[in-house]
Amino acid sequence: MTPNREDYLKLILELGGDRQKVSNKQIVTGLAVAPASVSEMITKLVKEGLVAHTPYQGVQLSETGLATASTLIRKHRLWEVFLVEHLGYSWNEVHDDAEVLEHVTSEKLAQRLSTYMADPQICPHGGMIPRAHETVHEKERQLLTDFAVGDTLRIARVLDERELLDYLVTLNIKLGAIYQITAISPDEGPITIQDTHGTEVAVSYKACSTIFVDQIKGAVD
Ligand SMILES: [Zn+2]
C-alpha cells in the first residue's frame, strides 16, 4: 500500500515534527518507501502549506499540518484502544483496521467512542491521544539509540508501523518493559538489551531508532 499524504503527516508528527525538523531519512525508514517518493510528497506538502522544508535538515509541520495530523491521530488512536481493549487485538494487529476506521469516523463518533472508554489518553503504542480540537505534543523523549552500555531504560513509546511492531513481537518486547543495554555493535549494528530476568535480545539499529524510552535512574529489581 502506498502511503498517502495523511500517512506522511501522521508519521512526521509521531517523529516529533510538531517542534523539530524530521529528516527525510527518518521518513524513509518510518514509511518503508523510496527516498524519491518522500521528496516528491514533501514538495506537495510544502505547496499545500502543511509543512515547512529546510534543505538538508528536514521538515516541520505548519500549524495547519499539525491540526490535520492531530485530528487523524486522535481518531486512529481511539480505535486502536478500542480494538485492543474490547476486541482482543494485539498491538501489532491494530494498525490496518484503525487506518481504515479513522477515515470514516466523524467527530461525533470519535467523541462518543472516547467517552465510552472513559477518555483514554495513551494508545497501545504509548502515543498520546489528544482531545477534540487539541493538538498532539508527545512528551519529549530520547531514542534507544541515544544511550550507552549500562544504561537502564523503560520502553515508553514505539512508532506505529506494522513491520516494526511485528518485529518487536517476535522479540517479545513490550511497552512499559525495563531493559539494560549490555552491548552496542559498531556502525549501526544491533543493540543488545537485557530484561529484568536476565534474558538478552539483540535489536536491530533500525528498530532501536524508532523506540522512545525513559531512562531509569538507580537500581531496578
Ligand atoms: Zn498507536
Residue 38's domain is classified under what CATH number? Answer: 1.10.10.10
Whether residue 153 is contained in a domain is answered as yes
- Domain assignment present for residue 114? The answer is no
Q: How confident is the model at residue 156 (pLDDT cuts 50, 70, 90)?
A: very high
- Domain range for residue 161? 142-215
Look at residue 20 and tell me if it is in a domain.
yes
Distance 79 CA to ligand 1 centre (A): 9
Q: What is the pLDDT of residue 219?
A: 57
CA 193/CA 190 separation, integer angstroms:
10
| 77-112: pLDDT as tens digits | 999 999 999 999 999 999 889 989 998 999 999 999
Q: What's the CA-to-centroid distance between 169 and ligand 1, angstroms?
A: 15
Q: 21, 36, 61: which is the final residue of a domain? A: 61
Listed residues 31, 61, 91: the one ending a domain: 61
**Which of these ranges, 24-33, 61-70, 81-90, has the smallest mean pLDDT?**
24-33
Residues near 190 by beta carbon (within 8 Å), at least 6 away in sequence: 202, 203, 204, 205
Look at residues 46, 61, 76 and tell me which one is the last residue of a structural domain.
Answer: 61
Residue 186 CA to ligand 1 centre (angstroms): 31
CA of 156 to the centre of ligand 1 (A): 12
Domain count, the chain: 2
Ligand 1 mean position, distance from CA 82 (Å): 11
pLDDT (mean) for 54-74: 94
Mean pLDDT of the chain: 92
Q: Residue 99 Cα, ligand 1 centroid: separation in angstroms? A: 10
Q: Pick from 181, 129, 138: which is nearest to 156 by CA?
A: 138
Distance CA 33, CA 118 (A): 37
Cα–Cα dist 156/109, whole Å: 28
Domain annotation covers residue 10? yes
Span from the CA of 116 to the centroid of ligand 1 (angstroms): 18
- Close Cβ partners of 54 (under 8 Å, ≥ 6 residues apart): 21, 60
Please report, in angstroms and rounded to a whole number, the separation of the first and last CA atoms in the chain: 44
Task: Extract the runs of DSSP E, i.e. beta strands, from 111-177.
Answer: 142-143, 152-158
Measured in Å, residue 182 CA sits from the centre of ligand 1 at 28
Backbone angles phi, psi at 114, to 5 degrees: -60, -50
pLDDT of residue 220 exceeding 60, the answer is no
CATH of the domain at 149: 2.30.30.90
The answer to whether residue 103 is domain-embedded is no
> Residue 150 C-alpha to ligand 1 middle, in angstroms?
29
**Ligand 1 center–CA 81 separation, angstroms:** 8
Reported as a single tens digit per residue, the pLDDT across 121-143 is 999 999 999 999 999 888 889 99
Q: How far apart are CA 190 and CA 211, in angstroms?
A: 13
111 C-alpha vs ligand 1 centroid, how far in Å? 18
Nearest 5°: the CA angle 99, 104, 108 is 120
- Helix (H/G/I), strand (E/B), else coil: 156: strand
CA 205 centroid distance within chain: 16
- Give 108 Cα–ligand 1 centroid separation in angstroms: 21
The answer to whether residue 67 is domain-embedded is no
CA distance 69 to 96: 17
What's the gap in Å between 176 CA and the centre of ligand 1?
14
Query: How far is ligand 1, taken at its centre, from the CA of residue 53, in Å?
Result: 26
Q: Does a structural domain hold residue 120?
A: no
In a domain, 113, yes or no: no
